[in-house]
Every structure is written in structure tokens, then in C-alpha cells.
Amino acid sequence: MVKIRHWSVVRQVEADDFKHLNYPIYYKVWEQPVWDGEEKCLKLCGDVYGHPDHYDMTRVISSAIINVERGGYNTIVTTKSGTKYILDKVDPLYVEWLELKNSTEIALEGSKLLHIPTELNPFRIKGQSND
């Protein structure tokens, strides 16, 4: 399995998205472990270790996430290509962005709308309490 460090979750990313940006396009961490359709096409972005196609510490954007499972202390994310990623440390800038986004949405909506990822609880999985 491939380890991914300093990870974030991004939506469908096209080459044109990077013309004016030098950071990933962050997106909401959805509650369901499986996503369908273009609108919810989520991917992992991060530095990989042990990937058969990339040198260690290469920053990649994965194919679409199709499953999230927990095994002991590890969270394993499977992508459409069949690659299984063990999540390591989350990108602190991603967490900072989500916290900022949360505070803005709390002010506007009055409730916490986004999940802040941690190493042990990176994704909300339907039917499990994570708060």
C-alpha cells in the first residue's frame, strides 16, 4: 500500500485550474464513504511514499476516491485506479483552511458545516458518530 502524507481532499481538478492558483482546490469532506457523479468527484492530494509509479515525496493528485475504510489506527482510501492509500498526517494548511471556512459558515449559517480532519478521524463515515 501507498502512504500519503500532508494530504488534503480536492475536487475534480483540471490543468486550467492551476493557471492562476498555486495551491490545491480544497473541497468539503463528504459524509458518505463512496461518491458518485462528477459533482462529487473527490480526490486525494499529497506526498506519496511507496508508490509504484512515483518517487517518494512526489506530490500527486489521485484518481477519484471510491471507498474509505478504517483498519485499526489506519484509514485506507481506495481510488478508482485501484491504488490503496494509507493516510498519514493531514496537510496543516488544509486544516487551517477548513477551520477558516467553518468560522465563516458558522457566522452565516449558525452551525458547523465542514468536518475538520484528524489523523484518526480523517473522513466521516455514514452511521458512525465522529464528533
Adjacency order of strands within the sheet including 2-11: 58-61, 42-49, 2-11, 84-87, 74-79, 65-71
Is 109 contained in some domain? no
How many domains does the chain divide into?
1
77-128 per-position pLDDT tens digit = 999 999 999 999 999 988 888 888 888 777 776 666 677 887 777 876 554 5
- Closest among 66, 3, 5, 68 to 36, alpha carbons compared: 66
Task: Give the residue numbers spanning the domain of 79.
Answer: 2-90
- Encode burial over 49-72: b for 16+ CB neighbours within 10 A, e otherwise: bebeeeeeeeebebebbbebeeee
- Cα–Cα–Cα angle for 123, 125, 128, rounded to 5 degrees: 120
Is 121 contained in some domain? no
Is 117 contained in some domain? no
pLDDT band at 4 (very low <50, low <70, confident <90, very high): very high
Q: What is the DSSP string of 7-29?
A: EEEEE---GGGGSS-SS--B---
pLDDT band at 130 (very low <50, low <70, confident <90, very high): very low
Q: Strand 84-87 to strand 2-11: parallel, antiparallel, or no bridges (unpaired)? A: parallel
Distance of CA 113 to the CA centre of its chain: 16
- Helix, strand, coil share (%) of the chain residues, nearest 5: 20, 30, 50
